[in-house]
Homo-oligomer: A and B are copies of this chain.
Amino acid sequence: MQAISRASEDYLKAIYHLGTHGDPVTTGLLAHELGVSSPSVSAMIKRLQDGELVDRSDARAIRLTGQGEREALRVVRRHRLLETFLAQALGVPWDEVHAEAELLEHALSDRLEERIDAALGHPTHDPPGDPIPPREGPHTESWGVPLETVPAGSRFRVERVSDRDSAALRHLGQLGVVPGAVLDVEEQEPFGGPYWVRVDGERHALGIPLTRLVHGRTEGEP
């Protein structure tokens, strides 16, 4: 119950995020993700292990314990609620909400989190489409499939857009590639060439890196 430091929260959140992408979470990966050296990660993991928040029984991967995952989800919930709130209450553009929420998420009291959740009508997703974990109870991330893997000729409904790269997010927003949008994947040029997609009647070219940021689900043929 003793308070968890901001740094610990950042580590737990990063372990959680990297964990949802399937790859085993390693020291080096975490160090890169958090922008710190790997000895720093080693030291922090040791502290988190002492606090029963991470599990190192598998030497090849860093895993969260049940308690660690609960704490990570608390941070993720606050982050995504804040993103939603900032967008809605203040009109903060969707490529900025991530950075602001990153700053505020560690300073949000349970009471205020509750008020924000209620004021927003208990939203289930934040602006980029990430699901907001419940205050307690199970949670799944439901990524859908990356746009990258979708063959030409498909109709694709956008569910989630990664908000890690603010500039990319802004660009996608300008093209209309937002959660809920429906894309017709018209063509994929070979050898890493762009995807041509039709959004709202407009035809746009998306480079491979962009298509990796967009997740969703294929629908019936166009």
Give the interface of A toward B (CB within 8 A): 86, 89-92, 96, 99-100, 103-104, 106-109, 111-112, 115-116, 119
Rounded to whole angstroms, the CA-CA distance of A119 and B92 in the bound complex is: 11
Q: Is the CB of A108 within 8 A of B115?
A: no
What is the CA–CA distance of A103 and B78 in the complex, to the nearest angstrom? 14
A104 to B, closest residue via Cβ: B107
User: Contact at A107–B106, with CB atoms within 8 Å?
Assistant: yes
CB-defined contacts of A96 to chain B, threshold 8 Å: 111
Give the complex CA separation of A180 and B10 in angstroms.
44
Of B100, B109, B112, B119, which is within 8 A of A109 by CB? Answer: B100
Chain B residue contacts of A106, Cβ below 8 A: 107
Which listed residue, B91, B92, B103, touches A107 by the CB 8 Å rule?
B103
Beta-carbon nearest neighbor of A115 in chain B: B90
The SS class assigned to the A binding surface is helix
Q: Which residues from chain B contact A86 at a C-beta distance below 8 Å?
A: 112
Counting chain B CB atoms within 10 Å of each CB, the highest count among A111, A112, A119 belongs to A112
Contacts of A103 in B (CB 8 A): 107-109
Q: Name 20 interchain pairs, CB-CB below 8 A, sorted by A.
A: A86-B112, A89-B89, A89-B90, A89-B119, A90-B112, A90-B116, A91-B115, A91-B119, A92-B115, A96-B111, A99-B109, A100-B111, A100-B112, A103-B108, A103-B109, A104-B104, A104-B107, A104-B108, A106-B107, A107-B107
Smallest Cβ-Cβ distance to A105: which chain B residue: B107
Q: Which residues of B contact A115 (CB under 8 A)?
A: 90-92
CA distance A109 to B98 in the complex (A): 12
Q: What are the residues of chain B within 8 A of A111 when measuring CB–CB?
A: 96, 100
Q: Which of B89, B91, B108, B112 sits near A92, CB closer than 8 Å?
A: B112
Distance of A84 from chain B, by nearest CB (Å): 13
Q: Complex Cα distance A92/B111, Å?
A: 10
A109 / chain B contacts, CB cutoff of 8 Å: 99-100, 103
A166 to chain B, nearest CB (A): 12
Chain B proximity of A174: nearest CB distance (Å): 20
Given contacts A96-B111, A100-B112, 5 further A-B contacts (CB under 8 A): A92-B115, A100-B109, A100-B111, A103-B108, A104-B107
